[in-house]
Structure 1
Amino acid sequence: MKYINEIEKRRTFAIISHPDAGKTTLTEKFLLFGGAIQTAGAVKSNKIKKHAASDFMDIERQRGISVATSVMSFEYKGTLINLLDTPGHKDFAEDTYRTLTAVDSVILVVDSVNGVEEQTRRLMEVCRMRDTPVIVFINKMDRDGKNRFDLLEEIEKELNISLHPLTWPINSGKEFKGVYNLNDKNLLLFTPNTKATDADLLEMDDLNTPLLDEKIGEKDAAILREDIELIDGVYGQLNVEDYLAGKVAPVFFGSAVNNFGVREMLDNFIRIAPIPRARPTTVREIKPTEDKFSGFIFKIHANLDPKHRDRIAFLRVCSGKFERNKYYKHIRLDKDVRFSNPYTFLARDKDVIEEAYPGDVVGLFDTGNFKIGDTLTEGEKFYFTGIPSFSPEIFKEVINKDPMKTKQLEKGLMQLTDEGVAQLFTQFGGNKKIIGCVGELQFEVIQYRLLQEYGASCEFRAQPYYKACWLTSKDPKKVDDFAKFKSNNIATDKDGYTVYLAQSEWFLNTERTNNPDIEFHFTSEIHKDH
């Protein structure tokens, strides 16, 4: 229990949402409260496109979407907050799912105008699998959206979670007047296009005060009193244990772009959100309070700094204390590694650190030693489990448009696919390279980055494959024979494992029936356990 004070100070969470629900804006407001950035990049006029602190790559700035999860650390009221931003776009869901393995809780942003959207559902399913505690922020209350009660009902039904409002809105759209804080019994008044200040905060012993009628008008005051009476009757006090078990999600209303209702959520977040939690491994559960260091890599990002060909592996510390220049065991490679310049992140700014504690995310310079899911310990052999990898759904052959840049293209493909956004398969002795992705947008990003970062230009040619299957058998000769027989549909992945590229579900089922001694797997995870 040496580091209990450090552990109790930390909160590590991710913000998840459907694209355009306001996640990047909310991230920015958190950083403002933490004093991590001085000015918000609120885009008031389209002429000044200041980019948000958490969007790294040019393509993100051009398209206004986050495609790479970034990590930001800041301090707020004596609490050290590690915030992991996640891509909202569905083609990058894989990156988001992996990030969710590295956090202890989640803030889900829902757009009050559009309600629950497809991506929100998929992300919540992942939170469900792990019983991750969730807080819901209903954003864009200053726009004409759905009725507040209908919205709660929709979220409960669609996401299969019980909600518990901790703030409550007064109207919405042009009539939006503010939020009432049920926990602190005060009212925050909203004025469009201005930041909320302490002057806008009204402390009230109870809602029957005439001050309420004076500030928001008799009609709205009457509705608010009625709403709050109903909410108190239905919900009562929040049971924090139910929230921590992932059964109940506290709800806050606001407008991130106006920085409204955000602080109320942040204050409650540091009060109730979980400190770093225990993690499952192949051997036993690892508790954060253990003396010995352990951690895992959940993300790899190439070229954070375009001037340098660097890759950064993001490590989540799970137990003990991580120290600079100390040797740790890289379990998969079975070798000792040490790091002279470990970083913490404030969006683009990196600071070298001497030590890190459970809950912290550390950036490690990587020359190609790391893969997603790699575990570092002080010698004990185990892997952290539950880090998903997916079978690609779209396959395209890489066509090199500039033979003079073949080396750059190969290096770029290796490094970018190491980041886990795509998988690389080679056929016919390495002459034909095929990239497999979960979504179309990833091909665009890969093509753009190959050109910008490696000077290699390529185009993609669609391939008629339906699924990639990793093959294993108790009798390795069976796999070899199958591969010879089906050579047109056989490729190897980056680690040299044999992969069968099935043209359709029918072909896949036929081969499974015809080859009972061969197992067909949809992820490459299986090789970790062998």
Structure 2
Amino acid sequence: MTENNNNELNKEVKRRRTFAIISHPDAGKTTITEQLLLFGGAIREAGTVKAKKSGKFAKSDWMEIEKQRGISVTSSVMQFDYDDKRINILDTPGHEDFSEDTYRTLMAVDAAVMVVDSAKGIEEQTKKLFKVCRMRGIPIFTFMNKLDRDGREPLELIEELEEVLEIDAYPMNWPIGSGKTLLGLYDLYHNRIEAFRPEESNKGERFISLNSEGEIEGEHKIKKESLYKQVLEEALLLKEAGNEFSEEAIAAGKLTPVFFGSALNNFGVQTFLEIFLQFAPEPSSHETRGGEIVQPAEPTFSGFIFKIQANMDPRHRDRIAFLRICSGKFVKGMDVTLSRSGKKIRLSNSTQFMAESREIVTDAVAGDIVGLYDTGNFQIGDTIYEGNDKIEYQELPQFTPELFMKVEPKNVMKQKSFHKGINQLVQEGAIQLYKSYHTESYIIGAVGQLQFEVFEHRMRNEYNSEVIMSSIGNRIARWVKPEQLDENMGSSRNMLVRDRFDQPLFLFENRFAMRWFSDKYPEVELTSLL
């Protein structure tokens, strides 16, 4: 690659901002995603997941079951330009049953936006997702949503954020009221007020500038409100007793900038986006299994598969492998090597996403997410690279399921479509597959109940295969080394099965059964996934 091309690549990489939006269900994550897409000109109108009667659905929700339920079940990828930045948003499932897909998606981003319902505060799923971000040390930006509804006191929300998630917080703005009393946002970062209803303001201005003391100059309608005086006191307290603003602490994932607003009313969202783009990191380096660090601006192309999704387009029964580009430049038709097998592959069919609408991509650079049409070559966690020097990125985390079901086809004459469906959904990571040790009966594992419902729905609608599922309940899965295994160790309380890689494991009925086993066979080492 010539020096000019190298400079051009470096410039393009620095423009990229790739992040995921995480939240508990119903915190408004899909709504804020749509508003960001509106600013980028990627969509013309915001649908709403609630508006089922009108037939309008969120642009980032494309799967049929998502439209029926009004929740995000899969991780969508959306790309748009704003303020000379190329933005890749990964809209992750908020539902706890899909945390596995969400966790893998978080391996493919450089930052996370955490959306919190200001009436509910930090909820269970938010905690789980936050832990993964913390594990990776990626910057986290917080958006306290639904300010248009009556919510909790902002000081209480900040305190909870710091105590529960053990991260320092820096409020970038501060609400002046909430719900029916919402007047606006006191913007501490820009030293201005953003009016909630500019048309009711003195001059119809959206932003009201403040003097060096942080107060409105001259006469103004908002100045007469008691809420304004209260916010001035709180702002003074934040300036004197709050955390110091630090770009280094944000970049290290130790300080989260906090923004208040209402995604549904598109209030505070644009201010958030502009500051986020200012402080969110450009594409980061990635470590290989050998411990080498690959920089994004290195000219040699490489990337890893973090998600596989079949049947995104029901008309074509296609299968897409989602690739995070880690270094260099992707060009349509390029030849690459699949690290796992050493197989050479030509990348002739590729796509970029705007939810259900897709367009052929001819080139992309480090930080971008590209969809590769897959005929069965790829698995989650695969590395692909160009050139002769092998690159293999670190493994993506796998998670131990807690719920298990026996599954069989309703119609034994449709065994072929049953096996095809199960194998494809397992390769996607939608479910985990096990087989009983002796009878080879299929057992599927999941993190939560909804995963089974989606599995059943997709088997019926995408693979024309009705299934019979019978629960074997909550189980504790623990792997054993084959050399330590005696098949007689299995019983009804610790079912012996194999995973899809033929590795043996026990499904324990409960913790008591697991302790009993460990006492009886102290030499057997039991291990879990993450």
The answer to whether the 8 Å contact 2:330/2:364 transfers is yes
2:497 is equivalent to residue 491 of structure 1: yes
Residue 289 (structure 1) aligns with = 297
2:41 is equivalent to residue 35 of structure 1: yes
1:56 to 57, 62, 76: 62
Residue 170 (structure 1) aligns with = 176
Residue 360 (structure 1) aligns with = 368
Distance in 1 between the 2:473 and 2:120 partners? 36
The answer to whether the 8 Å contact 1:181/1:264 transfers is no
Identical aligned pairs, as a percentage? 44
Residue 264 (structure 1) aligns with = 271
The answer to whether the 8 Å contact 2:183/2:222 transfers is no
Deviation digits for residues 21-44 of structure 1 (CA, Å, limit 9, x no counterpart): 000000000000000000011468
Q: In 2 relative to 1, CA 193–69 (structure 1 residues): closer, same or farther, beyond 3 Å? A: farther
| 1:225-236 pair list within 5 angstroms | 225-235=232-242
Distance in 2 between the 1:140 and 1:274 partners? 27
Distance in 1 between the 2:18 and 2:48 partners? 25
One-letter amino acid of the counterpart of residue 331, structure 2: E
Residue 164 (structure 2) aligns with = 158
Distance in 2 between the 1:324 and 1:411 partners? 29
Q: In 2 relative to 1, CA 516–282 (structure 1 residues): closer, same or farther, beyond 3 Å? A: farther
One-letter amino acid of the counterpart of residue 456, structure 2: Q
1:393 Cα offset (Å) = 0.7
2:350 to 311, 324, 342: 342
Q: TM-score, normalised by structure 1?
A: 0.91
Deviation digits for residues 55-88 of structure 1 (CA, Å, limit 9, x no counterpart): 1211111111111011001100110000000100
One-letter amino acid of the counterpart of residue 496, structure 1: D
3-state secondary structure, aligned to 1:231: helix
Residue 101 (structure 2) aligns with = 95
Q: In 2 relative to 1, CA 469–278 (structure 1 residues): closer, same or farther, beyond 3 Å? A: same
Residue 459 (structure 1) aligns with = 468
Residue 3 (structure 2) aligns with = none
Distance in 2 between the 1:325 and 1:334 partners? 18
Residue 418 (structure 1) aligns with = 427
2:382 to 374, 378, 388: 374
Deviation digits for residues 277-316 of structure 1 (CA, Å, limit 9, x no counterpart): 1122211222212221221111111110011221111110
Higher mean displacement: 390-399 or 511-520: 511-520
1:426 Cα offset (Å) = 2.1
Residue 328 (structure 1) aligns with = 336
Distance in 2 between the 1:192 and 1:159 partners? 35
Deviation digits for residues 99-153 of structure 1 (CA, Å, limit 9, x no counterpart): 1111000100110100111111111111111111011000011111111111111
Instruction: Tell me the number of residue pairs that the alignment of Structure 1 and Structure 2 aligns.
Output: 517
Q: In 2 relative to 1, CA 260–364 (structure 1 residues): closer, same or farther, beyond 3 Å? A: same
Distance in 1 between the 2:424 and 2:198 partners? 46
Distance in 2 between the 1:106 and 1:149 partners? 23
Distance in 1 between the 2:501 and 2:215 partners? 69
Deviation digits for residues 373-413 of structure 1 (CA, Å, limit 9, x no counterpart): 11112243343225210111111011322223221111111
1:304 to 302, 309, 312: 312
Deviation digits for residues 351-390 of structure 1 (CA, Å, limit 9, x no counterpart): 1112211111110111122221111122433432252101
Gaps (5+ residues) in structure 1? Answer: 526-530
Q: TM-score, normalised by structure 2?
A: 0.91
Residue 432 (structure 1) aligns with = 441
Distance in 2 between the 1:415 and 1:45 partners? 32
One-letter amino acid of the counterpart of residue 319, structure 2: R
Deviation digits for residues 221-244 of structure 1 (CA, Å, limit 9, x no counterpart): 322322222222234762111100
Gaps (5+ residues) in structure 2? Answer: 1-5
1:469 to 467, 474, 478: 478
Residue 392 (structure 1) aligns with = 401
